[in-house]
Amino acid sequence: MLLERLGIAFECADPQVDETARPAEARAITAARLAQAKARAVSAKYPDALIIGSDQVASCGGARLDKPGNHENAVRQLTAMSGKTVRFDTAVALLDSSSGKLDTTVVACDVTFRQLNARQIERYLRLEKPYDCAGSAKVEGLGITLIERIETEDPTSLIGLPLIALTELLAQAGAPVLG
């Protein structure tokens, strides 16, 4: 959806990368490492292409918020995030598979959540089912109703692919979006 906004031709590929964080690894470092790993993982299939990898890591009060995977974990996450500011670090990596050149940018996004009660959390989760999203909230959907404020230099970073940063990386690689 986000890449379509840029009007460029692309193919999607599943990189099959283990997204496990390393012990004591900083959030931004995890996001960058995984974005790079995802780009590299599909490079053999696309030997003469610009390959985009992206990853996002969320945290609240220093605790990492992974993809919840199920309803109970999502309830715990949203309850813990209620009334608090959550940091989303989103990395985008651009790999030129023909030269091996790899550039990566990490964009921070601070999201302040509204005070949420149990009924609101349950209703949101039953309607949206965001069990595959870091932090259990899809801002591009009904999750926007959970949020009080968003602070970032690139609003698309919260959705999972910072387009401002990506267009800069593409231009540096000689493939500007607008030609």
Does the annotation mark 103 as catalytic?
no
Residues whose CB is less than 8 angstroms from the CB of residue 179 and which lie 6 or more positions away in sequence, other chains included: none
Helices (H), 63-106: 71-81
CA 169-111-117 angle, 5° bins: 150
Residues whose CB is less than 8 angstroms from the CB of residue 100 and which lie 6 or more positions away in sequence, other chains included: none
Catalytic residue (one of 14, 18, 48, 55): 55
CA 47-51-52 angle, 5° bins: 165
Q: Which two tokens stand for residue 108?
A: 């921070």
Which residues form the catalytic set?
A: 55
